């Protein structure tokens, strides 16, 4: 398997699954309703909904870095943990999950469009190669999938 196909498989396994470790990111949010998506286990903690937007933002960031696109194309602000929509209802949650899926699809397309030598290149002023960034965003999905699974369990036992 060539590097682009391997990296896309890694990205898709972490995002869509199937994953041997449990639900992939998309599976971890399947069936989550707005009430649960908005819940936080404590002050200064993140909700599932915030993690969905955070994951979408970092996929966007990696695409931007891989393609050389300028900043400012992500549809939500502020960066990293964008503000939740108002109203934060089921329709808005579906839209933000669709945004996450769209950013994943754009990432896959960016990876498939890179020429082989580009995977070993480093971005300006970065110690990470493009391949390292791509692997990192896959691991980011797995990390947050686990975090979301934990939030769902905590919510069931919350007072």
| pLDDT tens-place string over residues 18-33 | 988 899 999 999 999 9
The model's pTM is 0.95
Residue 20 lies in a domain: no
Indicate whether 147 belongs to any domain: no
Is residue 114 a part of any domain in this protein?
yes
Q: Is residue 5 part of a domain?
A: no
Tokens read off for 73: 């194309």
In a domain, 71, yes or no: yes
Domain count, the chain: 1
pLDDT in tens, 99-113: 999 999 999 999 999
User: How far is the C-alpha of 25 from the C-alpha of 22, rounded, in Å?
Assistant: 10
Residue 87, domain extent: 33-129+152-157
- Residue whose token pair is 């943990």: 81
Report how far residue 89's alpha carbon sits from residue 76's, in angstroms, rounded to the nearest whole number: 17
Q: Identify which of 113, 110, 131 has the alpha carbon closest to the alpha carbon of residue 122.
A: 131
Evaluate whether residue 1 is within a structural domain.
no
Q: Token pair 């919510």 is at which residue?
A: 155
């Amino acid at each position: 398997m060539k590097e682009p196909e391997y990296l896309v498989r890694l990205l898709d396994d972490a995002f869509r699954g199937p994953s041997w470790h449990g639900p992939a990111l998309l599976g971890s949010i399947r069936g989550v309703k707005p009430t649960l998506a908005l819940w936080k286990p404590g002050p200064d903690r993140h909700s599932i909904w915030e993690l969905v937007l955070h994951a979408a933002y970092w996929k966007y960031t990696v695409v931007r870095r891989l393609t050389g696109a300028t900043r400012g194309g992500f549809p939500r602000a502020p960066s990293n943990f964008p503000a939740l929509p108002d109203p934060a209802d089921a329709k808005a949650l579906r839209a933000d999950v669709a945004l996450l899926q769209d950013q994943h699809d754009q990432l896959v397309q960016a990876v498939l469009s890179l020429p082989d030598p580009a995977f070993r290149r480093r971005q300006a002023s970065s110690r990470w190669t493009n391949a390292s960034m791509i692997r990192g965003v896959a691991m980011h999905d797995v990390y947050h999938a686990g975090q979301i699974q934990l939030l769902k369990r905590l919510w069931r036992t919350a007072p």
